[in-house]
A and B are shown apart, each in its own frame.
Chain A
């Protein structure tokens, strides 16, 4: 799919987001949440590139989120600093956990991630005196780039930041996919034996991908936490991890843009399904995904790219 077309789509999406949130301020929250999700999905897409799917990656979002909450409460740091540190925390955790994960593939990889995330989930829920238990941790709205802002202003600023971060993340991911490491990562999906017989360490390559994915999930988690001013263990529940993968497939795991398209569709279907037919949003989303898997396994982005660049170019 021609890259200038992608830029067009991205630009259009961007403009739409900005216009919409300006027209209807209440939409800022869902849009922010969608962008936060999208960032995390970017992370999961990296793993899917290697043919791996994690049912526990929400743990990095929740790690970063709790990092933000803790530091926000303890030292009243600036929002930008909080995001940076929260993300860094997730990256370090990813680097560490990744050391174990690189040995696993397929269902075992998914399971070990799930296991780790459920341990974290239970710990966060259990040791209330530190983590605020299942009610989670609240923290006051921090300054933004040194400015003390009202909620409206803060969210506008955060939204602008999130958009920039989304573009940056998308660029990084696509650049990574094109790089030697990214290509080797994709090769893990098809043939690790050959990688080894080329003198390339599949584990090291995969570790890199894992750290990147953890970092992006952490970035998403940090933004999510700042949007809400509250973090709860639910952020890391296995169903959340499932949702992230879900969004990746929905949007199309071939391209970072798919992550954000998916995230927006997900967020708004969820929001309106919840408002219109109360208690059935899960069913709606579930059916949507099932249909997608059968008619468009390449996700919304796959469909889109075929529209834009004509059939065949969807790879």
Chain B
């Protein structure tokens, strides 16, 4: 493949990775704090997308100024993500912390099943899609190929912003430090007077928003149909596992790795496209059981 094709594959890979990263970021954050792998996270992606589309339609039907479209995406993500995250935390996760990890995983799986059907009941089964934003922002040419500014600039920008923002929040703010503390050692943090309950609620809401944000940002270029959540779930899962659970920086690299592998596959060996994320996941886990960027502590006896 020649240089220009290389550039193209790079572009597509990056914008795809950006979305993947946002979703994975939420998943890994939640795991870090709750020590629960939230299977329902995939549904948050779907709900974010559907809700964003609904807002988009509202904007056009109420003939509100079209520039609202982009902020609307963010609002959609914050509202639905925060809402669902809170509900999940208060009604389920909070109550299963002391339970067998298997049960914890299963409860989130059950929540996933419920959300899948609820979503179908609310938004139906017809493909949903509102692309106003993308058309407003227009396109630009790269190596003779037209890209939308949206996918080439907005998506990576938001992803980076989310990454930097989260880093700053966890590292620089008091509340963020509490979250980090709980991540490292829940008991100790509680002993030090950290309000664990609040931290967990915050985390679920935040993680939910990130997952929903992934969906919201995908909605202008993707038709949302039932089942989209399950696919994104397992993909973001692959990212998180490859990076190592709870690894925020790692998730970014893993998402890039998977995104690029996928887009290069389309050019070089299209048959392997779908296989790529999972191949990478298997290979990484076989060599590094805890993922690329995390390490296990030896058990004290």
Contact = CB atoms under 8 A, between A and B. Distances in A.
Q: Do A and B bind each other?
A: yes
Interface of A: 48, 51, 53, 55, 100, 103-104, 106-108, 110-112, 114-116, 118-119, 122-123, 125-127, 193, 238-239, 242, 245-246, 249, 279-283, 285-287, 289-290, 293-294, 297
A273 B135 CA distance: 43
A287 B110 CA distance: 7
B238 A126 contact: no
Interface residues of B, number: 45
A300 to B, nearest CB: 14
Contact of A53 (B102, B117, B289, B290): B102
Main secondary structure of the interface of A (DSSP, over half): helix
Interface in B97-148: 99-103, 105-107, 109-114, 116-118, 120-121
B180 to A, nearest CB: 20
Interface in B70-99: 92, 95-96, 99
B278 A122 contact: yes
Interface of B: 37, 39, 92, 95-96, 99-103, 105-107, 109-114, 116-118, 120-121, 230, 234, 237-238, 241, 245, 271-272, 274-275, 277-279, 281-282, 285-286, 289-290, 299, 301
Nearest to B101: A106
Contact of A293 (B107, B116, B299): B107
Given A286-B114, A293-B99, A293-B103, A114 B301 contact: no
A290 B110 contact: yes
Contacts of B290: 108
B113 A111 contact: no
Contacts of B230: 238-239
A193 to B, nearest CB: 6
B101 A107 contact: yes
A238 B279 CA distance: 15
A112 B114 contact: no
Nearest to A285: B113
A41 to B, nearest CB: 13
A106 B101 CA distance: 8
A282 B116 CA distance: 8
B285 A289 contact: no
A98 B116 CA distance: 33
B101 A125 contact: no
A294 B100 CA distance: 12
A111 B39 CA distance: 12
